Amino acid sequence: MIWIFEAVITALWLMLPAYIANPTAALLGGGTPIDLGRKFLDGKRILGDGKTFQGLFAGTGCGILAGMIQIAISDSFKVFPGFTFISIVCLSFGSLFGDLVKSFFKRRLGYERGKKLPIIDQLDFVAGAWLLTFIFSREWFMDNFTPQIMIIVLLITPVLHRLTNMLGYRIRVKKEPW
């Protein structure tokens, strides 16, 4: 049993910059949308009002900040896996990049901003974070995201996502509880 507990803690630790980027984007986002209000060829918004520059930058910044604190902690205590600067940038930015790409396809499918898209809404940012980390920090990714850790992340993320969004809805940061 202990190994499962250890693996879950490791998974949470490794994903923390990505996990921080998403809710802080929602908390601090607003203002000019990234698509500048423009429409795609299909006449629908490119990304929609839910994707703003402020959310993208503030969320990425908060994720990087969390990662820097984690680097300091793992350097001092040597118990948690270490990060590299490039890996925390990829995890933080990648998380919001995944969310953005998802919104592009959501709009193409005719889903209004904020409409629920089960599973995709919960794992978009994991996919984005992993993809960018895999591309730009491959060795670090392969060393840390073992198949076992990846399975744990895929299982715990939807649960965590649902809980944070319910909380965000209650404190009125989010318009929908998903």
Torsion of CA 77, 83, 84, 89, to 10 degrees: -130
- 96 in contact with ligand CTP (CB under 6 A): yes
- 29 in contact with ligand CTP (CB under 6 A): yes
* Residue among 93, 111, 89 at smallest CA distance from 102: 111
Span near ligand CTP by CB under 6 A; candidates 11-19, 81-89, 112-120, 156-164 = 112-120
Q: How far apart are the first and last CA of the chain?
A: 31
* DSSP H or E run through 147: helix 147-170
- 94 in contact with ligand CTP (CB under 6 A): no
Q: Whole-number minimum distance, CB 81 to ligand CTP, in Å?
A: 27
Given candidates 99, 126, 132, 141, which one binds ligand CTP under the rule CB under 6 A? 99
* DSSP H or E run through 78: none
- 60 in contact with ligand CTP (CB under 6 A): no
14/58 with CB nearer ligand CTP:
58
Greatest C-alpha distance within the chain: 54
The Cβ-side half-sphere exposure at 60, using a 13 Å CA radius, reads 20
- 35 in contact with ligand CTP (CB under 6 A): no
- 25 in contact with ligand CTP (CB under 6 A): yes
Q: What is the CA radius of gyration of the chain?
A: 16
17/48 with CB nearer ligand CTP:
48
Footprint on this chain of ligand CTP (rule: CB under 6 A)? 25-26, 29-30, 48, 50-52, 55-56, 96, 99, 103, 106, 113-115, 174
